[in-house]
Amino acid sequence: VVVEGNATEAPHISSKMEVRVLFDTGPHKWAELRAPPLNSLALSTNWSFFKPEIYPSCFWSIEDDYVPVRGNRSDINVSVEVYPISTMAWAVQKQMAKQWEQQAEVGLSTGKDTFMIKRMILTTNPITLVFSVVFLLSHTIFGFFQLKNEVQFWRNVDSMHGLSARSMGIGLVTRLIVALYLWDSEAKTSKMI
């Protein structure tokens, strides 16, 4: 694994390895087994159950877990932990990993962004994290309501009587300044903004 961000990139190894065993006793319909990610499971010969999925996982490894490999080092400690994982958690992890790979291919995110999201999920208090998600979702919904109301207002305006051209101009200039700032500092800010 090569960790990004350094001027000279060097190979790294994860000091934490998790071996996951997919554990599921619930019944599944044929349509579910043909859809991703369950379609990657190996079914038994009589099609009544799937063979256990055992795989190494570095999904929750963050930058601090990687140790640089230089020369003939023999002092690297690697901890191996074996955990069962439910089908739902396995499907969510597989989907998130696939999504991050697709975003990296398109250029929407980097490995650094992925590590930042993982660190945020692992180190943030769950109550704070839930509050932040609820706040962001409500802010997004109210933003859509605002846009809808603005569109309705401007469609129904017959004259500019009572509207301040100065306040509209100041709003346009401030939005332009913010957009130029984000465009200029694209290396420091996420492209998702």
Give me the tens of pLDDT residue by residue for the chain, a chain 193 residues long: 544 555 456 788 888 888 988 887 777 777 777 777 777 777 766 666 677 778 888 888 888 888 887 777 667 788 888 989 888 888 888 888 888 889 888 888 887 888 888 888 888 899 998 999 999 999 999 999 999 998 898 888 888 777 788 888 998 999 999 888 877 776 655 555 5
Interior angle at CA 115, CA 110 and CA 119, nearest 5:
150
Which residues partner with 81 through β-bridges?
A: 18
The 10 Å CB-count burial string (b at 16+, else e) for 73-96 is: eeeeeeeeeeeebebeebbebbee
**Runs of H (alpha helix) within the chain:** 30-34, 87-106, 111-123, 126-156, 165-184
Q: Please tell me whether residue 106 adopts helix, strand or coil conformation.
A: helix
Cβ count near 167 (within 10 Å) = 9
pLDDT at 187: 60
Phi, psi of 21 (to 5 degrees): -120, 120
Distance CA 133, CA 151 (A): 27
